[in-house]
Amino acid sequence: MTRTTLSALLEARDWILADGATGTILFNMGLQAGDAPELWNANHPDRIATLYSGAVDAGSDLFLTNTFGGNAARLKLHDAQGRVRELNRLGAQIGREVADACDRPVVVAGSVGPTGEIMAPMGALTHEIAVEMFHEQAEGLKEGGADILWVETISAAEEYKAAAEAFALADMPWCGTMSFDTAGRTMMGLTSKEMVRMVGKLPHPPLAFGANCGTGASDLLRTVLGFDGAEKPVIAKGNAGIPKYRDGHIHYDGTPDLMADYAVMARDAGARIIGGCCGTEPVHLQRMRAALEERPKGDAPTLEQITAALGDFSSESDGTDGGGATASPRRGRRRARA
């Protein structure tokens, strides 16, 4: 299959379906809590190929590599800090093989998660060290054949900027999402509006930006609405409902039908790249793809329409009005979830 770029897909398509969860599916395959998923790139490459193929077969146009925690700080917890380049290269290489075997264009996005450290001055992680860590990971992903780099689940603006600088050093295009999981803000206090302004000032800006993970599909869509007026394509990757602890495991209660509604609402809210995060499995992606193809584009959903379809917000405010973390009153009807 001839390789394509994300830019080419964005020019040709109104929306692009990204992938779903990584951890959820790997745990289903036998990954144990506390293990480093990235080690499976070397020890169980067949399972990682199955992870990627599951998203592609479900209709994803883009999938993220199994390299979220593949930086030196996180891998040090597993005595694997000397294997950063290798594990990232392998994660991308497996993805490259899966994408190249497809009969349609599929983008391999090299996943880069947060360092796990706190940025200075609150913590010990300096800008220079963060850039070095992200750059090392980026070079491994580039060697493995990733089409684009994709930093995700970031909370601090400083860490996002360090990733952007590192990706410039690697001479790679990139996308970047943050997690707005604290009363509509990131854990470090950034709002959706502030992210738009930050992205607009970066010397090496992303091709697309947005939000992932967080506290549920409703909250994520409210954040997407907060990106209104952005000049770059917007990304929405929401969790499949809310996590529930059952039978010794975490389960997400978002049904395929709920995620289909979420995908269409995300598109109507202005997102161009739409996928899932925690709990989102191929069965969800299949229904999301079908809904995006079959349902006509509509007006941006109202907050009331979002909560009626997807459930309540976790807080009254999305942070942009200066509001706090007061839990929201029940709005509309909550759809039954399994």
pLDDT at 255 over 70: yes
Read off the pLDDT of residues 227-252 as tens digits, 9 standing for 90 and up. 998 999 999 999 998 877 777 667 78
pLDDT band at 2 (very low <50, low <70, confident <90, very high): low
267 found inside a domain: yes
Give the per-residue pLDDT at 253. Answer: 86
The Cα-based distances of 160 to 82, 143, 261 in angstroms read: 24, 22, 30
204 found inside a domain: yes
166 found inside a domain: yes
Separation CA 270–CA 99 (nearest Å): 27
Rounded to an integer, the average pLDDT of 140-162 is: 98
- Structural domains counted in the chain: 1
Q: Cβ contacts of residue 44 below 8 Å, gap of 6+?
A: none
Give the per-residue pLDDT at 327. Answer: 36
Domain that holds residue 62: 6-302
Burial call 275-290: b when 16+ CB within 10 Å, e when fewer: bbbbbbbbebbbbbbe
pLDDT band at 256 (very low <50, low <70, confident <90, very high): very high
Average pLDDT in the chain: 92
Q: What is the pTM of this model?
A: 0.93
Give the per-residue pLDDT at 246. Answer: 74
Q: Rounded to the nearest 10 degrees, how much is the dihedral formed by the CA atoms of 132, 137, 143, 148? A: -110
CB count in 10 Å sphere of residue 335:
16
Give the per-residue pLDDT at 322. Answer: 63
pLDDT at 334 over 50: no
pLDDT at 323 over 90: no
Rounded to an integer, the average pLDDT of 19-30 is: 96
294 found inside a domain: yes
338 found inside a domain: no
316 found inside a domain: no
Read off the pLDDT of residues 100-132 as tens digits, 9 standing for 90 and up. 999 999 999 999 999 999 988 889 999 999 999
Lowest-confidence segment of 64-68, 226-230, 331-335 by average pLDDT: 331-335
117 found inside a domain: yes
Read off the pLDDT of residues 205-216 as tens digits, 9 standing for 90 and up. 999 999 999 989
pLDDT at 337 over 70: no
pLDDT at 338 over 60: no
Cis before 121? omega within 30: yes
Read off the pLDDT of residues 129-142 as tens digits, 9 standing for 90 and up. 999 999 999 999 99
Residue 58 maps to which CATH number? 3.20.20.330
323 found inside a domain: no
